[in-house]
């Protein structure tokens, strides 16, 4: 996962969460550092994430990047996506 992260551009983040994207923005990586989980978002999942990300940025203008990403992580079910992807890749 580190190689993938290094090939992506940092979008925003803080002590607990980070958001990265490929150069062409066709894939995003949402990282929850405190749970040591990563969700790779593409296609329909990415479209849903970006809509939610935009909404949270507009609704909670005073939020820090960590607060924005935590809100999305918790309410968007991204921990489930990350766990499912981790299970599929055979990692524990």
pLDDT, tens digit, 9 for 90 and up, residues 36-88: 999 999 999 999 999 999 999 999 999 999 999 999 999 988 999 999 998 88
Tokens read off for 84: 């499912």
Residue 9 pLDDT > 90, yes or no? yes
d(Cα 63, Cα 79) in Å, to the nearest integer? 20
d(Cα 66, Cα 17) in Å, to the nearest integer? 6
The predicted model scores a pTM of: 0.89
Domains in the chain, number: 1
Stretch (H or E) spanning 26: none
Task: Determine the structural domain holding residue 83 and report its residue range.
Answer: 2-89
Tokens read off for 51: 């809509």
Tokens read off for 77: 């079910």
């Amino acid at each position: 996962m580190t190689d993938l992260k290094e090939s992506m551009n940092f979008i925003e983040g803080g002590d607990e969460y980070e958001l990265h994207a490929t150069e062409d923005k066709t894939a995003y990586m949402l990282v929850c550092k405190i749970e040591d989980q990563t969700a790779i978002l593409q296609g329909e999942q990415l479209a849903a994430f970006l809509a939610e990300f935009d909404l949270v940025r507009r609704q909670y203008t005073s939020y820090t990047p960590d607060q924005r990403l935590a809100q999305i992580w918790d309410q968007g079910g991204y921990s489930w996506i990350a766990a499912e992807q981790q299970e599929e890749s055979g990692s524990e």
